[in-house]
């Protein structure tokens, strides 16, 4: 009791001494930002979060998007009563979303209802050979024991290690702008890097512990989100297994685009002005500062710019050679994440035998990886993914219908044609029908394909990449394309091609990081 009184008295003294000064300083800073204008190029998650963060700090923010809808790769396509999420479908790491909303005094539940999927997803290894990945730890452990006796304890150790990586990664690493290696010169950080197995691979880690091919596939799958093979993905990224198997797979009712709507609402409440159907074409500068952003419709005077459109497009098309961070030759040498062949399909029947997320790992994983990374070509026997959100969320399809999303990862930069797309659609349908025992072909009422050419046309995506840059060792942290422009003091890049990397949660972090860095540089 006495202690509490003393603490309270102490807090009052501190507030009286420093509190007013602090509040005065914060107000001064906000006031000094008030008349500063920032343009954010691109309205994906990175752009939306950069815009919201800067506007909250008092900047006058204009968010410019070339397409008629905001959200970037998370746009929607509506047709005949169906609503298709065009890109992301896995909601992982919910705390990253909550952290963003929290800064505005909000939470995810203010915008959408999140449901945890249970089972999390299904993996098809062949006909009558499938595994449903449970959402609770004990059932997961039982599943591991069933597949490989003795693997339950190993799973416990593996996930304990993955938890350490996840927590250290999220608390210590992802919030560093990684402008320089010196940001990591701290004994604690260097020690952590070794403990996190930065120099080993996810694949080696998994294969050292688990022998059964099914368990290996299950544990190697999450890093595919990071755009590289498990063999080429640093061991630290087994943190993704923690995100997958412990933190869980979630779904925002209404679809992934609900996140876009939430972030749009936040941006508008903070005073961000949003322009769609307007493309940024070039910039004007004085010495080492951008002074104007030129678009397809107008031009805007600026104090600062966040480039949250595809990084390579900004370097190649918006900036002149002398100002771009990387030359064409340098971009060409980088390892891009895969592109994708997608199909949005509506069928006029309900399905019983598949789950929300279904992975078809019934063909040779290594062969497909080779055809993406080392010998780029259309895959001979692709692995693929099918999502059926309407099983849970009836708002995505008309009564008695089902909403399906198909995805095959493909090498970036391949020649794309309708005939080729169709061939792969047939392949996927054959396997989906065979394994699920459901007739689908004859029930299709809506169908649209989407692949490399569309990624280039719609997002100015370099080589038609879907998820940005691959997270290989040589493209991790300070080795990734830099957030900070080397030549223009008031330009910062954000999004999946810079730090921390591909995926919705990293794009959210990237936008906030770039905003904080730009804000500091404009003080």
Ligand X SMILES: Cc1cc2nc3c(=O)[nH]c(=O)nc-3n(C[C@H](O)[C@H](O)[C@H](O)COP(=O)(O)OP(=O)(O)OC[C@H]3O[C@@H](n4cnc5c(N)ncnc54)[C@H](O)[C@@H]3O)c2cc1C
Name residues whose C-beta falls within 8 Å of residue 135's C-beta, 6 or more positions apart in sequence.
Answer: 116, 117, 118, 119, 120, 248, 249
Q: What minimum distance in Å lies between the beta carbon of 140 and ligand X? A: 21
Q: What minimum distance in Å lies between the beta carbon of 139 and ligand X? A: 23
Sign of the torsion angle spanned by Cα atoms 448, 451, 457, 461? positive
Q: What minimum distance in Å lies between the beta carbon of 335 and ligand X? A: 16
Whichever of 432 and 504 has its CB closer to ligand X, that residue is: 504
Q: Per the structure block, which two tokens stand in for 464?
A: 């038609």
Q: What minimum distance in Å lies between the beta carbon of 282 and ligand X? A: 10
Q: What minimum distance in Å lies between the beta carbon of 507 and ligand X? A: 4
DSSP 49-108: HHHHHHHHTT-EEEEE-SSSSSSGGG-EEEETTEEEE-S---B--HHHHHHHHHTTT--G
Whichever of 192 and 274 has its CB closer to ligand X, that residue is: 274
Q: Per the structure block, which two tokens stand in for 327?
A: 């030359």
Whichever of 210 and 373 has its CB closer to ligand X, that residue is: 373
277, 275, 274: which is closest to 68 by C-alpha?
277
DSSP 486-507: SS-TTEEE-STTSSS-SSHHHH
Residues near ligand X (CB under 6 A) are 41-47, 64-67, 72-74, 87-90, 279-280, 308-310, 313, 340, 342, 407, 459-460, 466-468, 495-496, 502-504, 507
Render the burial of 45-68: b for 16+ CB within 10 Å, e for the rest: bbbbbbbbbbbbbbbbbbbbbbbe
Distance CA 259, CA 401 (A): 24
In what side-by-side order are the strands of the sheet with 357-360? 129-133, 121-126, 357-360, 384-387, 402-410, 339-347, 444-450
Whichever of 49 and 131 has its CB closer to ligand X, that residue is: 49
**What interhelical angle do 213-220 and 202-209 show, nearest 10?**
150
**What interhelical angle do 504-521 and 45-56 show, nearest 10?**
40
Q: Which helix (H) or strand (E) holds 207?
A: helix 202-209
Q: Give the distance from CA 517 to its chain's centroid.
A: 20
Whichever of 84 and 173 has its CB closer to ligand X, that residue is: 84
Whichever of 234 and 468 has its CB closer to ligand X, that residue is: 468
Whichever of 53 and 151 has its CB closer to ligand X, that residue is: 53
- 207, with CB counted inside 10 A (0-12, 13-18, 19+), is middle
Whichever of 192 and 355 has its CB closer to ligand X, that residue is: 355
Whichever of 73 and 214 has its CB closer to ligand X, that residue is: 73
Q: What minimum distance in Å lies between the beta carbon of 77 and ligand X? A: 12
Give the residue carrying structure tokens 């968010």. 63
Q: What minimum distance in Å lies between the beta carbon of 497 and ligand X? A: 7
Q: What minimum distance in Å lies between the beta carbon of 254 and ligand X? A: 16
Cβ neighbour number for residue 79 with a 10 Å cutoff = 13
Q: Which helix (H) or strand (E) holds 342?
A: strand 339-347
Give the residue carrying structure tokens 């963060």. 53
Distance CA 406, CA 160 (A): 33
Q: What minimum distance in Å lies between the beta carbon of 156 and ligand X? A: 26
Q: What minimum distance in Å lies between the beta carbon of 510 and ligand X? A: 7
Q: What minimum distance in Å lies between the beta carbon of 42 and ligand X? A: 2
Contact (CB, 8 A) for 359 and 428: no
Whichever of 55 and 155 has its CB closer to ligand X, that residue is: 55
Contact (CB, 8 A) for 54 and 270: no
Whichever of 192 and 421 has its CB closer to ligand X, that residue is: 421
């Amino acid at each position: 009791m006495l202690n509490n009184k003393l603490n309270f008295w102490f807090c009052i003294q501190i507030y009286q001494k420093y509190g007013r000064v602090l509040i005065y300083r914060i107000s001064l800073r906000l006031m000094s930002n008030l008349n500063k204008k920032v343009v954010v190029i691109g309205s994906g998650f990175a752009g939306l979060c950069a815009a919201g963060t800067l506007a909250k700090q008092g900047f006058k923010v204009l968010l410019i998007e070339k397409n008629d809808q905001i959200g970037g790769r998370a746009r929607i396509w509506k047709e005949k009563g169906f609503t298709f999420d065009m890109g992301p479908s896995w909601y992982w790491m919910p705390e990253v979303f909550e952290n963003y909303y929290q800064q505005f005094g909000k939470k995810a539940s203010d915008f959408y209802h999140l449901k945890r999927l249970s089972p999390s997803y299904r993996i098809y290894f062949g006909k009558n050979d499938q595994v449903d990945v449970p959402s609770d730890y004990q059932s997961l452990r039982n599943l591991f024991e069933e597949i490989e006796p003795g693997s339950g304890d190993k799973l416990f150790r593996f996930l304990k290690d993955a938890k350490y990586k996840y927590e250290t990664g999220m608390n210590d690493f992802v919030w560093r702008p990684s402008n320089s290696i010196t940001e990591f010169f701290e004994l604690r950080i260097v020690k952590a890097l070794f403990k996190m197995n930065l120099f080993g691979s996810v694949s080696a880690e998994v294969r050292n512990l688990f022998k059964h091919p099914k368990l290996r596939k299950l544990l190697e799958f999450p890093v595919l989100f990071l755009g590289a093979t498990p063999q080429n993905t640093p061991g630290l990224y087994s943190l993704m297994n923690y995100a997958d198997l412990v933190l869980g797979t979630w779904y925002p009712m209404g679809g992934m685009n609900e996140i876009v709507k939430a972030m749009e609402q936040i941006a508008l409440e903070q005073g961000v002005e949003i322009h769609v159907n307007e493309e940024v074409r070039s910039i004007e500068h004085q010495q080492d500062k951008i002074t104007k952003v030129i678009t397809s419709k107008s031009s805007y005077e600026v104090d600062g710019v966040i480039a949250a459109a595809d990084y390579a497009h900004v370097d190649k098309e918006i900036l002149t050679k002398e100002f771009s961070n990387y030359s064409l030759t340098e971009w060409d040498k980088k390892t891009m994440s895969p592109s994708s062949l997608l199909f949005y399909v509506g069928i006029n029947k309900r399905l019983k035998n598949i789950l929300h997320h279904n992975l078809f790992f019934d063909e040779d994983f290594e062969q497909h990886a080779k055809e993406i990374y080392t010998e780029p070509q259309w895959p001979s026997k692709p692995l693929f993914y099918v999502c059926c959100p309407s099983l849970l969320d009836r708002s995505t399809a008309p009564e008695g219908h089902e909403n399906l999303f198909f995805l095959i990862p493909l090498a970036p930069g391949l020649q794309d044609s309708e005939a080729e797309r169709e061939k792969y659609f047939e392949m996927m349908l054959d396997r989906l029908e065979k394994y699920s025992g459901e007739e689908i072909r004859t029930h299709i009422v809506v169908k649209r394909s989407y692949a490399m050419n569309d990624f280039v046309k719609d997002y100015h995506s370099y080589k038609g990449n879907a998820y940005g840059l691959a997270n290989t060792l040589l493209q991790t942290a300070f080795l990734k394309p830099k957030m900070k422009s080397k030549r223009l003091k008031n330009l910062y890049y954000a999004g999946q091609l810079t730090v921390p990397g591909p995926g919705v949660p990293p794009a959210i972090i990237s936008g906030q990081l770039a905003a904080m860095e730009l804000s500091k540089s404009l003080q």
